[in-house]
């Protein structure tokens, strides 16, 4: 994931050390709400936009997981997404997926772009 190519499209999100395992951080790329999280040591990021109706997934800040902490959960109508792939495995948009956001880590800082 380390990529140091100069590119003005990358946006600084936060320090990599600021995201513990199973922790989420919301941010914006332009007008687009997004979130990044760490799971089993790996960073993942998606647009915060449910493929069902195109609205944000969460009702509570930084809260995206279901009660069992297994799947990303859409609070609107209950769609469930595999955290590592964004694939929807249940709910009204089953078979669709969350849109991934590209990440890189430069000198300990997480940067993202659409
Ligand atoms: S808006 Fe996400 S399941 Fe309907």
CATH classification of the domain holding 68: 2.102.10.10
Q: How many domains does the chain have?
A: 1
**Does 2 have pLDDT greater than 70?**
no
Q: Is residue 39 part of a domain?
A: yes
Task: Determine the distance separating the centroid of ligand 1 and the alpha carbon of 86, expressed in angstroms.
Answer: 14
Q: Is residue 49 part of a domain?
A: yes
Q: Is residue 81 part of a domain?
A: yes
Q: pLDDT category, 8, cuts 50, 70, 90?
A: confident
Q: Is residue 20 part of a domain?
A: yes
**Does 24 have pLDDT greater than 80?**
yes
Q: Are strands 72-73 and 42-47 parallel, antiparallel or unpaired?
A: unpaired
Range of the structural domain that residue 22 is part of: 11-113
* CB-side neighbour CA atoms (13 Å) of 113: 8
**Quick check: CB of 98 below 6 Å from ligand 1?**
no
* CB-side neighbour CA atoms (13 Å) of 90: 9
pLDDT tens digit string along 26-70? 999 999 999 999 999 999 999 999 999 999 999 999 999 999 999
- Which residue in 53, 14, 48, 13 sits closest to 34, CA to CA? 48
Task: Determine the distance separating the centroid of ligand 1 and the alpha carbon of 63, expressed in angstroms.
Answer: 15
Q: What is the pLDDT of residue 7?
A: 65
């Amino acid at each position: 994931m380390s990529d140091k190519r100069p590119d003005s499209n990358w946006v600084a999100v936060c320090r990599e050390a600021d995201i513990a395992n199973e922790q989420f951080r919301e941010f914006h790329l332009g007008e687009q709400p997004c979130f990044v999280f760490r799971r089993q040591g790996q960073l993942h990021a998606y647009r915060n936009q449910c493929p069902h109706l195109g609205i944000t997934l969460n009702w509570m800040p930084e809260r995206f997981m279901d009660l069992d902490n297994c799947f990303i959960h859409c609070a609107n109508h209950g769609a469930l997404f595999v955290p590592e792939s964004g694939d929807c495995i249940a709910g009204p948009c089953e078979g669709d997926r969350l849109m991934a956001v590209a990440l890189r880590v430069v000198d300990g800082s997480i940067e993202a772009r659409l």
